[in-house]
């Protein structure tokens, strides 16, 4: 059994980790921390977990139990994991950060977008970007994994086959992506109150979203050249889910896109390429680690349209973290992640 600790377990990604790991046959959850909830039982904060865990939250300052773990998963706000990682790594603990502290390789770019100084920039180069469909082998041996963001997961998986094969002009890439309100976290904010978000759709951070440089970095690595990428996020009145509509100009409009995507993802357990003409829906991935993709060609043009849908809390966060945990520990990649989506 692998002993896993969770830092910052009082939010939505923390509760999703608990939901998944409490049923994982090879994991023992050794500790879960929350500064605000220290001393309280997990089940009192998350009644859905009653009967599945008898853990209580501990203070993250008391990290002796964390240093006794095999793997620590950080489900904290940005800027927190980097304060814990050096001590944990020194103690021989492997770390999966579900926030953004280690995703962007250019530390100056990270500091500009996140508005703070990086506490341990010496570890950024070592961190492996935890998108298994691209970095599976590196993840297996990694000490430190930077779990991708939700928007970046949906967008990168959608563009991956095109950019890997140099089939799309990298200066024409655009994404219009929609997220449910859980993507903003559990802390109360006026824009995500029911009365504010219900019965309305709006774009936000059009002038620059923090996931922009992360996505652009990944796309450029796929293309092996700079990309010009436009990203517009939207808030929609649902709880869970990401839907990304991606656009680009094909270099060869005659390419068989359906075959390309089916072949690229044939052996990927968590990417489902839908039949030609289909449209993925967020409700079909709710609570799962799946990314469902459909690829279309705009009639009478050289434009490709890719539709990508994930659950932002699962494949977009905690589920992908468990997928990375499985790879790091030598387990079957799908272990603990085979739930069928909830419907309706």
Give catalytic residue positions.
150
Ramachandran region of residue 36, left (φ > 0), alpha (ψ -120 to 50) or beta? alpha
Q: Which residues pair with 7 in a beta bridge?
A: 33, 74
DSSP codes joined into one string, 121-189:
GGGTTTPEE--HHHHHHHHHT-SEEEPPPHHHHHHHHHHHHHHHTT-B-TTSEEEEEEE-GGGG-SS--
Owner of token pair 């089939």 = 167
Sign of CA dihedral 324, 183, 296, 276: positive
How far is the C-alpha of 297 from the C-alpha of 289, rounded, in Å?
27
The per-type count for the chain, helices as H runs and strands as E runs, is: 11, 13
Interhelix angle 319-329/12-21, nearest 10 degrees = 50
């Amino acid at each position: 059994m692998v002993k896993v600790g969770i830092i910052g377990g009082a939010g939505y990604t923390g509760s999703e980790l608990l939901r998944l790991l409490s049923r994982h046959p090879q994991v023992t959850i050794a500790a879960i921390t929350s500064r605000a909830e220290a001393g309280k039982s997990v089940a009192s904060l998350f009644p859905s977990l009653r009967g599945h865990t008898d853990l209580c939250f501990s203070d993250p300052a008391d990290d002796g139990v964390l240093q006794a773990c095999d793997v620590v998963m950080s489900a904290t706000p940005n800027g927190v994991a980097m304060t814990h990682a050096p001590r944990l790594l020194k103690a021989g603990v492997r770390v999966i950060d579900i926030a953004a502290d280690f995703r962007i390789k250019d530390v100056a770019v990270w500091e500009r977008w996140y508005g703070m100084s990086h506490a341990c920039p010496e570890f950024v180069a070592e961190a492996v970007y935890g998108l298994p469909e691209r970095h599976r082998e590196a993840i297996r041996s990694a000490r430190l994994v930077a779990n991708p963001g939700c928007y970046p997961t949906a967008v990168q998986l959608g563009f991956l086959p095109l950019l890997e094969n140099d089939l799309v002009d990298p200066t024409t890439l655009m994404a219009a992506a929609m997220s449910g309100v859980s993507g903003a976290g559990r802390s109360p904010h006026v824009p995500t109150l029911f009365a504010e978000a219900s019965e309305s759709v709006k774009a936000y951070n059009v002038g620059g979203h923090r996931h922009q440089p992360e996505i652009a970095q990944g796309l450029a690595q796929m293309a092996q050249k700079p990309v010009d990428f436009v990203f517009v996020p939207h808030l929609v009145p649902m709880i869970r889910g990401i839907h990304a509509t991606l656009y680009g100009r094909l270099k060869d409009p005659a390419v068989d896109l359906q075959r390309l995507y089916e072949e690229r993802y044939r052996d990927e357990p968590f990417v489902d390429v839908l039949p030609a003409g289909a449209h993925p829906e967020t409700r079909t991935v709710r609570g799962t680690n799946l990314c469902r993709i459909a690829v279309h060609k705009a009639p009478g043009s050289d434009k490709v349209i890719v539709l990508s849908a994930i659950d932002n809390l699962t494949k977009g966060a905690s589920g992908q973290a468990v997928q990375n945990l499985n790879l790091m520990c030598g387990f079957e990649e799908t272990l603990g992640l085979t739930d069928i989506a909830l419907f309706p």
